[in-house]
Amino acid sequence: MDEPAGSSQMGGASSGNATAGGSGAGMTGGNSNKPSPATQNTGQNPLDEAVDSSVESSSLDEGPLNEDIPIPATTLGNAIDDLMTRWVQIFSNVSISPPILPASTIDHVKEVAEICQKHFRNANMEVCAELNRISTQWELEHPQDAFEDELNDLNAAIDRQKVLLKHAKEVMEKLTSRYFSAYPDAGKQHLT
């Protein structure tokens, strides 16, 4: 089956080389995948050849971009899947679609809401706990990087506080000058 002109076997990646299935430039005919005689033996851009060879040499079947290979299951992935399942459960319990069923008792509605809320809260807590575990594990395995990140965060916080203090000082000076321009005799009379 012929591909339409402009489509590529590599997910639309085009380097301008006619053999890579690019935009059809340098191709003979409409949907033919044969290169034209003009591009077969002429001096092409060496960068295009390097890109083509690196794409061909890298195994796209084993790379992270291949959607056919499932991502290995992790604790964080499982926690996120559970969170999304609970989120969908909440929506499925509150959505209304015809035919509308007879109303449940108020106690049943409360019970279902409490259970859904509890499951969703627990799923959120599992995701947060897993993210904290991964963060702590990274900090323990890479202490120097963790110290540098902490130092950068502290420096950014100090700079932010300096900016806020400068802004507060400017606001105080502006309000004080406005007050003293409106009341020039303020603070000059001392009553004892």
Q: Give the model confidence (pLDDT) of 73-100 as tens digits.
A: 888 888 999 999 998 888 887 766 666 6
Q: Is residue 56 included in any domain, yes or no?
A: no
Q: Is residue 107 included in any domain, yes or no?
A: yes
Considering only residues 168 and 104, tell me which one the structure prediction assigns the higher pLDDT: 168
Q: Identify the three-state secondary structure at position 35.
A: strand
Task: Report the alpha-carbon angle 174-178-182, nearest 5.
Answer: 170
Yes or no: say if 180 and 186 are a contact pair by the CB < 8 Å rule: yes
Please count the structural domains in the chain.
1
Q: Is residue 180 included in any domain, yes or no?
A: no
Q: Is residue 65 included in any domain, yes or no?
A: no
Residue showing tokens 């890109």: 51
Q: Is residue 113 included in any domain, yes or no?
A: yes
Res 55 pLDDT > 80: no
pLDDT recorded at residue 161: 97
Which domain does 89 fall in, by range?
A: 75-171
Q: Identify the three-state secondary structure at position 28.
A: coil
Q: Is residue 58 included in any domain, yes or no?
A: no
Element (H, E) at 38: helix 37-40
Yes or no: say if 25 and 52 are a contact pair by the CB < 8 Å rule: no
Q: What are phi and psi of 57, to 5 degrees?
A: -75, -30
| CA–CA distance, 44 with 42 (Å, rounded to integer) | 6
CA distances from 31 to 36, 38, 40, 146 (A): 12, 17, 17, 55
